[in-house]
Amino acid sequence: MGKLDFAPIADTTRRAEIVVLLRRAILTGQLEPGQKLNELRIAEQMRVSRAPLREAMRELVQEGILTSIPYAGTFVIDVTAKDIDDAYSLNKVLDEFAIELTWRLRDRRFFDELDRRHDAVKQATRDLDTTRQIEMALQLHGLIHEWADNSVLLETWQRLASRLQMYFALHQRARKEPVPAEDIHETYVRLLKGSDMRAAQRHAREHIGLDFEELLAYARSLESKGARADRPGLPRERPGEA
Amino acid sequence: MGKLDFAPIADTTRRAEIVVLLRRAILTGQLEPGQKLNELRIAEQMRVSRAPLREAMRELVQEGILTSIPYAGTFVIDVTAKDIDDAYSLNKVLDEFAIELTWRLRDRRFFDELDRRHDAVKQATRDLDTTRQIEMALQLHGLIHEWADNSVLLETWQRLASRLQMYFALHQRARKEPVPAEDIHETYVRLLKGSDMRAAQRHAREHIGLDFEELLAYARSLESKGARADRPGLPRERPGEA
DNA sequence: ACTTGTTAGATTGTCGACAATCTGCTTGAT
DNA sequence: ATCAAGCAGATTGTCGACAATCTAACAAGT
């Protein structure tokens, strides 16, 4: 018999597809932070009943990009400057760890994949597709976490990456300027291919740091402008879990 | 008006209560790894319809202690030695980070809470209540993550703690010996109260390390004994997310 | 003996309807 | 005018029934 091994076939449940649609809508900023998700309306738009929609929403709540208040509704999470700062500082720690784990596992396939993703970022940049640029940059950044061969680290990173994508998309959408044209990942990729692990770790911190500082400044400016009063019934605090 | 601030009232949805019940059943080992959860049977036992039960199960899937395969069922996650090892190594990194963040925030209330949780562990040990001992030990350990004032870190820790509790409960249930009587947390607490942060971080690694080594040895012995053939239809691989 | 097609039973996925709860407005008393 | 009570509408939570899919046993053909 042939030694061909097939990949498992795709999920074909409505729930799974709904999750993909909703996640994309949130991460690209089509659904704004704090916005309420009306179940009936969304279910009708998607031509689906509320059952699979609600199950999908529960998944995204646990994924950390939605928040739910019983009998009040499910909302896109609010983005505070502190959230961004918290995510940023944890991200630094995880990156350092991921580089350490990945370092001895780097091989030809790793470098090829690194280049492939790097190219994807540059392509999206040329196309002026900001949304895709953000997504591809995070994919490039996520490679060290995928390669580290630590399932728990990878899960943690993916949860974090979801929020990062949302934050950055929000930021990009706010400032009208076009995308930065120069390639800010060049050094990052080069160091990951090199032989100085400490240098790579150090750069990962600082490189990410630059983007984040800008993002933080934006978030802080939003908050100093006072709480938004346009959307009524916003949850100011999420109820604690038992 | 009084300056009393009330805690948010408890969630009163069936879904939330089901989550608590299911989580406890899994973390205490009443539901074994790999075991399938029959929706109809559980729903009847709890006197609830399948809708809130299924939503609760989706949450636990995202929490990482259940795994779902479309049209096949939802199962308690399988525990492999590598999973434990992965969780262990990430836990070391998170602990080090948490101690760093918490260090300058330590105050009277922190030390009091530290003692309170430490006492709770000792009490459970005296009562020979192994399940509670594990839970309290993790609570003691979680204090540095709660105190660190980083919401993303806290979330990450809580997800990790769920699995750790499951692993340890499984281990305890397997070996017939009674609980270790001596107080293994004494040094940990003392160092957290002291003034040498590096020493506290170092101890956190090694202290946890001991428990884990034992746990790992157990998990490896299970796997070398060959795959279990008693439960049919076990998922050997979970389908990837798109 | 081995494979293939079929069928019955069980289980998961989805739907539409009903119950519980919240929100905002109206009403009416002071 | 102010405020509380209560009502109407909208939205979420839950239920029971149906559809889609899987599993295992059985029959039939090679």
pLDDT tens digits for chain A (242 residues)? 445 566 666 678 999 999 999 999 999 999 999 999 999 999 999 999 999 999 999 999 999 999 999 999 999 999 899 999 999 999 999 999 999 999 999 999 999 999 999 999 999 999 988 899 999 999 999 999 999 999 999 999 999 999 999 988 888 887 766 556 677 889 999 999 999 999 999 998 887 766 777 778 877 877 765 444 333 333 333 333 32
CA distance A159 to A64: 7
Closest-CA residue of chain B to A21: B242
Q: What is the reported pLDDT for A218?
A: 77
Find, among A101, A90, A83, A98, the residue nearest to A33 by Cα.
Answer: A83
Domains of chain A (ranges; CATH) run: 14-76 (1.10.10.10), 81-224 (1.20.120.530)
- Closest nucleotide C1' to the C-alpha of B36: C11
Percent of chain B with pLDDT over 70: 83
Find, among B49, B51, B44, B53, the residue nearest to B21 by Cα.
Answer: B53
Mutate to test the interface with B, among A14, A62, A100 (most CBs of B within 10 A): A62
Is the pLDDT at B65 greater than 80? The verdict is: yes
Higher pLDDT, A82 or B9: A82
Between chains, do B152 and A54 touch, taking CB under 8 Å as contact? Answer: no
B6 has a chain A CB within 8 A of its CB: no
Higher pLDDT, B185 or A38: A38
Q: Calculate ∠ Cα A187-A123-A99, nearest 5°.
A: 35
Which positions 170-209 of A are in contact with B (Cβ < 8 Å)?
Answer: none
Cβ-Cβ contacts under 8 Å, B89 against chain A: 101, 150
CA distance B122 to A70: 37
Q: What is the reported pLDDT for B225?
A: 54
Higher pLDDT, B178 or B51: B51
Q: What is the reported pLDDT for B216?
A: 80
Closest-CA residue of chain A to B14: A70
Burial of A160 (0-12, 13-18, 19+ CB in 10 A): buried
Q: What is the reported pLDDT for A204?
A: 86
Instruction: Give the bases of strand D that a protein CB approaches within 7 Å.
Output: 11-17, 20-24
Band of the pLDDT at B158, cuts 50, 70, 90?
very high
* Rounded alpha-carbon distances, angstroms, from residue A23 to A11, A63, A146, B63: 16, 10, 20, 17
Find, among B137, B168, B171, B141, the residue nearest to B157 by Cα.
Answer: B141
Residues 13-72 of B with CB under 7 A from strand D: 13-15, 47-52, 55, 71-72
Cβ-Cβ contacts under 8 Å, A70 against chain B: 11-13, 16
Mean pLDDT of B53-66: 97
Helices (H), B28-106: 39-46, 50-63, 81-103
CA of B51 to C1' of D14 (A): 7
Q: What is the reported pLDDT for B208?
A: 72
Q: What is the reported pLDDT for B177?
A: 64
B18, B56 in Cβ contact below 8 A? yes
Mean pLDDT of B109-124: 96
Q: What is the reported pLDDT for B9?
A: 65
B33, B78 in Cβ contact below 8 A? yes
Is the pLDDT at B209 greater than 70? The verdict is: no
Closest-CA residue of chain A to B159: A156
Q: What is the reported pLDDT for B105?
A: 97
Mean model confidence pLDDT for chain B: 86
**pLDDT tens digit sequence for B123-132:** 999 998 889 9
Q: What is the reported pLDDT for A174?
A: 78
A194, A200 in Cβ contact below 8 A? yes
A94 has a chain B CB within 8 A of its CB: yes
